[in-house]
């Protein structure tokens, strides 16, 4: 709970200096609702509306693509970070596997909570705190796929 309070305090500090600060302050005074909670509420409602308009599948694919694409670009541009390269290459293999499964729309539509599972799984794979893609590669994929890959002849 303390972390949430810290984040809200930081958000308030940012909102106090934001270009629309006078309008937020007037709204806060008129409603009695702290401006940071108004912003969080608007963002939450916007996200929910966004999910309903575009659909859960689109939101899941958007979240599963944007941040990993950015991190992949950073990994490509960095030098000497094979651990990052492995993380993002493995992530994209897993993302591709889910995309192949989605080709079979009839199957996916009959699986309850498929997109919620996909969303949670992709988050686990991509987040720096979990590094799930690297973990999955090291514990399962490396040994399973190594026999299928022929070493380069030198």
CB–CB of 57/81 below 8 Å? Answer: no
Task: State the average pLDDT for the chain.
Answer: 83
Torsion from C-alpha of 71, 74, 79, 83, nearest 10 degrees: 0
Band (pLDDT 50/70/90 cuts) for residue 153 is low
Is residue 108 within 8 A of residue 55, CB to CB? The reply is: no
Res 68: pLDDT: 92
Higher-pLDDT residue of 50 and 123 is: 123
| Distance (Å, whole) CA 11 – CA 113 | 33
Of the segments 39-53, 73-87, 120-134, which one has the largest average pLDDT value? 120-134
User: What are the tens digits of pLDDT across the range 85-128?
Assistant: 888 888 998 888 878 877 877 777 777 788 888 888 888 999 88
Q: Up-side HSE of residue 24: CA atoms within 13 Å toward CB? A: 19
82-91 pLDDT, tens digit per residue, is 888 888 888 9
Q: Annotate 41-52 with DSSP letters as a single string.
A: HHHHHHHHHHHH
The proportion of the chain whose per-residue pLDDT surpasses 90, expressed as a percent, equals 4
| pLDDT value of residue 63 | 84
Task: State pTM to two decimals.
Answer: 0.59
């Amino acid at each position: 709970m303390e972390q949430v309070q810290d984040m809200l305090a930081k958000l308030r500090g940012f909102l106090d200096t934001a270009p629309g600060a006078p309008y937020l302050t007037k709204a806060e005074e008129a409603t009695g609702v702290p401006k940071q909670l108004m912003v969080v509420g608007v963002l939450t409602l916007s996200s929910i509306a966004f999910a309903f308009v575009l659909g859960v599948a689109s939101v899941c694919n958007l979240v599963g693509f944007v941040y990993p694409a950015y991190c992949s670009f950073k990994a490509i541009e960095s030098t000497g970070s094979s651990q990052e390269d492995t993380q993002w290459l493995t992530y994209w293999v897993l993302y591709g596997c889910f995309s192949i499964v989605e080709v079979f729309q009839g199957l996916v539509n009959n699986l309850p909570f498929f997109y919620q599972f996909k969303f949670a799984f992709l988050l686990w794979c991509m987040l720096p705190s979990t590094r799930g893609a690297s973990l999955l590669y090291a514990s399962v994929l490396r040994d399973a796929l190594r026999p299928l890959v022929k070493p380069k002849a030198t």
